[in-house]
């Protein structure tokens, strides 16, 4: 056991050669509620890695040892040049609580769509349709395509590059370019909004690429609500809980929500 902060790429760089010699998987965790298993594709077939992770999810990491996700992390390459294979990563998530915003929306006949890794975080439950993506650009493209076709729908999008490629890799320049890429897409997204649509932009955690740690950082994340006419006020203030997002979605669709949280819409009875 090594007790020091590592990024996933550092773990593989430092222990990948030993893994090649012994065949033993590399197992590591982080500040997140995750259990990650990394193996080289020339040592362990990917299907075997997936079987190990599924066993860990179903038979070991339950109850008091339950974690949010078990993540299969295949990699390839030679010592000094190992690389994770991002599009063959697989997440085995703990099943979400039965009562959540996605399930409630489906119960009311509202279509739910996942773009990016959201489907993995919900253990592949609760979505009418999902589209996994390999980049922010693909996620934005899928969103724009869906906005042209969907109605009476809730679309949950995760743009992972900001976090995975730049935040955890401590790459400020790449992080800035990634933010600019998203910013450039905003006009196209807004242009597809109908008068009765709502767009919420936020992050699930901080990931300062200039911090000393490769883990998530603790700064507040922004939350933007558009169109602004539907917001409670111009400055939404510092929110008390992420549940405000779910409460806002429930309020927008006219659904009663018993979880903690306050809607950010003007028509909410909670404001």
Q: What does 77-105 look like in DSSP terms, one character per residue? A: S-TT--EE-GGG-EEEEPPPPSSSHHHHH
Considering the entire predicted model, what is its pTM? 0.77
- Residue count of the chain: 271
Asked if 80 and 105 sit in the same domain, the reply is no
State which of 76, 93, 110 marks the end of a domain. 93
Residue 265, in any domain of the structure: no
Share of the chain above pLDDT 70, in %: 92
Q: Provide mean pLDDT across the span 77-94.
A: 90
**Structure confidence by residue, pLDDT tens digits, 124-164:** 889 999 999 989 999 999 999 999 998 899 999 999 888 87
State which of 60, 75, 93 marks the end of a domain. 93
Asked if 112 and 69 sit in the same domain, the reply is no
Q: Are 268 and 262 in contact (CB under 8 A)?
A: yes
Asked if 109 and 220 sit in the same domain, the reply is yes
Asked if 116 and 50 sit in the same domain, the reply is no
Closest by CA to 58, choosing from 90, 97, 94, 98, is 94
Share of the chain above pLDDT 90, in %: 58
Range of the domain at 83: 8-93
**Structure confidence by residue, pLDDT tens digits, 153-200:** 999 999 988 887 877 778 889 989 999 999 999 999 999 998 889 999
Query: How far apart (Å, rounded) are the C-alpha atoms in residues 236 and 195?
Result: 21
Asked if 188 and 143 sit in the same domain, the reply is yes
pLDDT at position 197, please?
93
Specify the CATH number for the domain of residue 187.
3.40.720.10
Residue 37, in any domain of the structure: yes
If one counts the domains in the chain, the total is 2
Strand partners, 202: 223
């Amino acid at each position: 056991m090594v007790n020091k902060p590592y990024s996933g790429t550092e773990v593989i760089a430092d222990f990948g050669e030993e893994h090649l010699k012994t065949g033993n998987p590399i197992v590591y965790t982080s500040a997140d509620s995750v259990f990650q298993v990394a193996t080289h594709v020339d040592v362990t077939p990917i299907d075997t890695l997936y079987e190990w992770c599924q066993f860990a999810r179903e038979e070991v990491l339950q109850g008091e040892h339950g974690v949010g996700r078990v993540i299969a992390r295949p990699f390839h390459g030679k010592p000094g040049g190992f690389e994770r294979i991002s599009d063959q990563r697989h997440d085995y998530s703990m099943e979400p609580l039965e009562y959540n915003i996605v399930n409630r929306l489906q119960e009311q006949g509202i279509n739910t769509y996942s773009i990016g890794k959201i489907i993995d975080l919900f253990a592949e439950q609760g979505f009418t349709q999902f589209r996994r993506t390999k980049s922010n650009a693909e996620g934005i493209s899928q969103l724009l395509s869906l906005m042209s076709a969907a109605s009476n729908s809730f679309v949950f999008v995760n743009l992972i590059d900001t976090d995975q490629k730049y935040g955890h890799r401590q790459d400020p320049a790449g992080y800035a370019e990634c933010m600019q890429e998203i910013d450039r897409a905003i006009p196209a997204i807004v242009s597809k909004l109908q008068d009765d649509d709502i767009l919420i932009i936020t992050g699930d955690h901080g990931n300062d690429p200039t911090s000393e740690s490769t883990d998530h950082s603790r700064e507040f994340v922004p939350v933007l609500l558009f169109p602004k006419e539907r917001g409670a006020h111009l400055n939404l203030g510092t929110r008390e809980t992420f549940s405000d997002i779910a409460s806002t979605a429930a309020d927008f669709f006219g659904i009663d929500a018993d979880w903690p949280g306050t809607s950010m819409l003007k028509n909410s009875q909670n404001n």
